[in-house]
Amino acid sequence: MNAGQVIGTQILIMFIILMLGVVCNLRGIITKDGTKSLSAVELNIVNPILIFMSYQSEYRSELMTGLMWSFILSLVSFALAITLAMVFVPKKSDYSVVQRFSVIYSNCGFMGIPLVKNIYGDEGVLYLTAYVTIFNLLVWTHGYILMKGERDFSSLKKALFSPSVIATIVGFVFYYTNIRLPEVPARSMQLISDMNTPLAMLIAGATVAQTSIFKAFRSAAMYRVCIGKLIIVPAVTFAALSVFNAPAMVKMVVTIAAGCPVATTGTMFAISMDRFPEKSSEFFAATTVLSGLTLPLVTYICDKLV
């Protein structure tokens, strides 16, 4: 079974859980406030622990080389996404800042980690941590400034001390020094990390249920964001990465991360800054649903080419 088929099967499994999240919201089991609380748990506890546990493996020099390549290629991917967003989304278009943010920043934690883990295992997640680290640094600096509309570099401190970045740094130190957790705490941490996929998809489903996706597709902005985020960005990213003499798995991991749906961070920013939060939620919901078709297709094609 190739990567495209694996990711298609995995997305189908995740989509079933997502639909359960939709039902939970419609029945009042997961409310709007509940979604925010669960998102906080996912972002601040489950996701960082999963990242840390991906480093709890035997140190291998070839993996270190792949990790360094992943940092380099992730930087290239984001540079391309930022450039493409500026070209693809006209500055004078409606809620252009939300559109540009949505095209650039993907749901690489919620969607990327469980997908990569099921395709490439802990080694793939190890490489993905580089992309997640670059994401956290950029989203709290460039992304924050983009959404707010004014320069504010104070958010850099928040980025450097975000749970995902801390988990990456601590995990890397443990990995490099071959420090392993004792069996009981390791099993406890592993059980928490295993919550990542079902919890993330329940949250995504509850969020989707709170938006009007079909109504949103009447606007050109929705098509612009969906095509740009789910097709153009990953396609251009893979084409650019193909010129590098990096491990094939690293190229695929970065491409998958770049092709994930719109980041939930955009909705959080939009709500806190009152910058078209309903549009940001619609972009997230629509791209999350459509990624069930685009991610397997993009992955299948790239897997064949690589």
Question: Cα 209 to the chain's mean position, in Å?
Answer: 20
Burial of 285 (0-12, 13-18, 19+ CB in 10 A): buried
Buried (b) or exposed (e) across 251-261, using 16+ Cβ within 10 A? bbbbbbbbbbb
Domain of 202, in residue numbers: 3-305
Contact 237, 257 (CB under 8 A): no
Confidence of residue 260 (pLDDT cuts 50, 70, 90): very high
User: How many domains does the structure of the chain reveal?
Assistant: 1
Question: How confident is the model over 100-105, as a mean pLDDT?
Answer: 94
**Can you spell out the DSSP letters for 204-259?**
HHHHHHTS-HHHHTTSHHHHHHHHIIIIIHHHHHHHHHTTS---HHHHHHHHHHHT
User: What are the structure tokens assigned to 288, written together?
Assistant: 């999350």
More confident residue, 138 or 273: 138
186-245 pLDDT, tens per residue? 999 999 988 877 887 788 788 778 877 777 777 888 899 999 999 999 999 999 999 999
**pTM of the predicted protein model:** 0.80
For residue 84, the model assigns a pLDDT of 94
CATH value at residue 119: 1.20.1530
- pLDDT averaged over the chain? 84
More confident residue, 81 or 52: 81
Contact 22, 205 (CB under 8 A): yes
User: What are the structure tokens assigned to 143, written together?
Assistant: 């992304």
For residue 146, the model assigns a pLDDT of 84
For residue 272, the model assigns a pLDDT of 66
For residue 95, the model assigns a pLDDT of 81
115-124 pLDDT, tens per residue? 888 788 878 8
Most confident range (mean pLDDT) of 9-13, 74-78, 292-296 is 74-78
For residue 230, the model assigns a pLDDT of 94
For residue 153, the model assigns a pLDDT of 62
For residue 1, the model assigns a pLDDT of 56
4-34 pLDDT, tens per residue? 666 667 777 777 888 898 899 999 998 888 8
- The answer to whether residue 47 scores a pLDDT higher than 70 is yes
Confidence of residue 305 (pLDDT cuts 50, 70, 90): confident
Question: How confident is the model over 73-98, as a mean pLDDT?
Answer: 89
Question: How confident is the model over 164-183, as a mean pLDDT?
Answer: 86
